[in-house]
C-alpha cells in the first residue's frame, strides 16, 4: 500500500505533513503553533489566547477587514483555537484554492499585532472572561484546574484572568509572539485531494523566508494534587460536584482505553446516565478523559440541587468504585468500539477532521497514523485491556474533590 503521507522540514525548521485524499474535492491546511497556556508565566496568563485573537487583526499586507474578506472570498471554513498545549489556525477550501488559503494563513503568521487594535481586542477577551463567570460549569472547571494543578502552568485558565489580561502590554505580547511563533516551533499540516509537490512549492514560496528563533521546550510534567476544595458562590442556584483522578497521557493505546473508560462510565447511554441521571439524582452527570502530552486525568462531574450534594457524590464514587473493582462488560466495550469506529470512518472522509487527527498524531506520537492503524488501536479496547488499565489507573482512588455553588459543602457543620 502506497504511503499517503509526505513529510518535509524546511531549512528554517518548519515541519510539513501532507496527506493525499484522492477521493475528495477539497483540502484543509492548518498551522499548529507549539505554544499554549502552559507556556505562559503566571503574570502572562491568557497571552496565548489573546494573541490568537490578534493574529486576525492585520499584517503588513492586509488590514483585518481584508483577512476576513479574503477568507470569505474563497468560501473558506476557517477558525482558530487555543488550548493548554497548542494554538491552531486552519482553513478548508476547494482543492483549487489551497495555495490561496495557505498564503492567507501564512500571512497571518506574520501579524504586525496592530497597536490600534490591541486595546479593542483586549475588551473582547475581557468580555469572554466575564461571560465565563456567568456559567457555573466554566467557573467550576477553572477552579478545578487551579487546585488540581496548583503550582504548575496548567493551573491557570486558557483565557487568563481579568487582572493579567488588563496588565498585558502590546510589547510583552510582541516578545512572546517573536519567540513562540517561529518556524522551528510550528508545523503546517495539509490534507485533501492535492499534489504534494505543488503544495511543498507553495509552502516554500510563502514560508521559506521565515527566520527561526531557536525556541526550545521548557515544559515541566504536571503533578496532580489530591484533596478537597470548595468555592461557595451564592449567585448560582445549582451545585457542581467534580472528582478528578489520574489517567493516561495523550498518545498510545492507553489513551484510547482511558477515553473508552470515561465513555462507559459517563458518556451517552452510560452508567452515570442510567444510575444517576435517570434516577433523578442529577440532571447532568458525565465523565471525560482530559489528556496532555505528559499527563492526563479523568473528570467525574455532576450538577444538582445543593441539598443533593452528598447523594450525587456518593453515587459517582459508587459507580467509579464498582468499575474499578468489577471491570466492564463485553456489551459496554462493544458499544464504545462501534461508536469510535463510526466516528473514525466519518472523520476519515473529511479533510478538516483528518487535519486535526494528523496534528494530534504529530504532536503526541511524532508520526502520522492511517485510519486503519487507528482502527486497529480501537480493536485493542477489550474487557481485559480495560481491566489492566484500571489496575494501573484506578478510578477508586481519593483523587481531588471540588464543589462549587451556593452550598459550602463539604464542611464541618
Catalytic amino acids? Answer: 52
**What is d(CA 150, CA 82) in angstroms, rounded to the nearest whole number?**
21
Beta bridge partners of 82: 87
φ, ψ for residue 7, nearest 5 deg: -130, 130
What is the C-alpha to C-alpha distance for residues 242 and 277, in angstroms, rounded to an integer?
A: 15
Dist. CA 259–CA 79, nearest whole Å: 26
Using DSSP's 3-state secondary structure scheme, residue 251 falls into coil
Q: 326 is written with which cell numbers?
A: 468489577
Rg (CA), the chain: 23
Residue 8, C-beta contacts closer than 8 angstroms, at least 6 positions apart: 15, 16, 200
Length of the chain: 413
Question: What's the Cα-to-Cα distance from 409 to each of 232, 318, 401, rounded to whole Å?
Answer: 8, 19, 11
In the sheet where 15-20 sits, what is the strand order? 5-9, 15-20, 186-192, 26-33, 87-94, 77-82
Q: Which residues contact 209 (CB under 8 A, 6 or more apart)?
A: none
Amino acid at each position: 500500500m502506497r504511503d499517503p503521507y509526505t513529510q518535509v522540514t524546511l531549512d528554517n525548521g518548519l515541519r510539513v505533513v501532507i496527506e493525499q485524499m484522492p477521493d475528495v474535492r477539497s483540502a484543509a491546511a492548518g498551522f499548529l503553533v507549539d505554544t499554549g497556556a502552559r507556556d505562559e508565566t503566571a503574570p502572562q496568563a491568557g497571552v496565548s489566547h489573546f494573541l490568537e485573537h490578534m493574529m486576525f487583526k492585520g499584517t503588513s499586507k492586509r488590514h483585518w477587514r481584508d483577512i476576513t474578506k479574503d477568507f470569505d472570498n474563497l468560501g473558506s471554513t476557517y477558525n482558530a483555537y487555543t488550548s493548554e498545549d497548542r494554538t491552531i489556525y486552519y482553513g478548508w477550501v476547494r482543492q483549487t484554492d489551497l495555495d490561496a488559503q495557505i498564503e492567507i494563513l501564512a500571512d497571518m503568521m506574520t501579524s504586525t499585532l496592530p497597536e490600534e487594535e490591541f486595546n479593542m481586542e483586549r475588551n473582547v477577551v475581557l468580555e469572554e472572561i466575564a461571560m465565563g463567570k456567568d456559567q457555573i460549569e466554566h467557573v467550576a472547571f477553572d477552579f478545578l484546574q487551579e487546585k488540581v494543578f496548583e503550582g504548575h502552568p496548567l493551573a491557570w485558565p486558557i483565557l487568563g484572568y481579568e487582572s493579567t489580561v488588563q496588565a498585558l502590554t502590546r510589547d510583552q505580547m510582541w516578545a512572546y509572539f517573536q519567540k513562540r511563533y517561529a518556524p522551528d516551533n510550528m508545523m503546517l499540516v495539509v490534507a485533501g485531494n492535492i499534489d504534494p509537490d505543488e503544495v511543498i512549492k507553495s509552502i516554500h514560496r510563502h514560508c521559506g523566508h521565515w527566520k527561526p528563533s531557536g525556541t526550545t521546550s521548557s515544559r515541566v510534567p504536571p503533578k496532580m494534587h489530591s484533596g478537597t476544595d470548595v468555592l461557595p458562590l451564592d449567585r448560582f442556584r445549582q451545585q457542581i460536584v467534580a472528582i478528578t483522578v489520574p489517567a493516561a497521557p495523550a498518545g498510545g493505546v492507553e489513551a484510547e482505553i482511558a477515553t473508552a473508560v470515561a465513555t462507559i462510565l459517563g458518556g451517552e447511554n452510560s452508567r452515570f446516565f442510567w444510575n444517576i441521571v435517570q434516577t433523578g439524582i442529577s440532571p447532568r452527570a458525565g465523565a471525560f478523559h482530559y489528556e496532555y502530552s505528559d499527563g492526563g486525568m479523568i473528570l467525574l462531574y455532576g450538577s444538582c440541587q445543593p441539598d443533593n450534594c452528598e447523594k450525587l457524590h456518593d453515587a459517582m464514587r459508587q459507580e467509579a468504585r464498582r468499575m474499578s473493582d468489577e471491570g466492564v462488560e463485553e456489551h459496554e466495550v462493544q458499544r464504545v468500539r462501534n461508536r469510535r469506529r463510526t466516528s473514525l470512518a466519518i472523520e476519515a472522509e473529511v479533510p478538516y477532521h483528518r487535519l486535526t487527527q494528523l496534528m494530534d498524531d504529530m504532536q503526541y506520537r511524532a508520526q502520522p497514523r492511517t485510519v486503519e492503524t487507528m482502527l486497529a488501536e480501537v480493536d485493542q479496547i477489550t474487557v481485559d485491556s480495560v481491566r489492566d488499565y484500571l489496575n494501573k489507573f484506578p478510578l477508586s482512588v481519593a483523587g481531588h474533590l471540588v464543589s462549587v455553588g451556593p452550598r459550602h459543602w463539604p464542611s464541618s457543620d
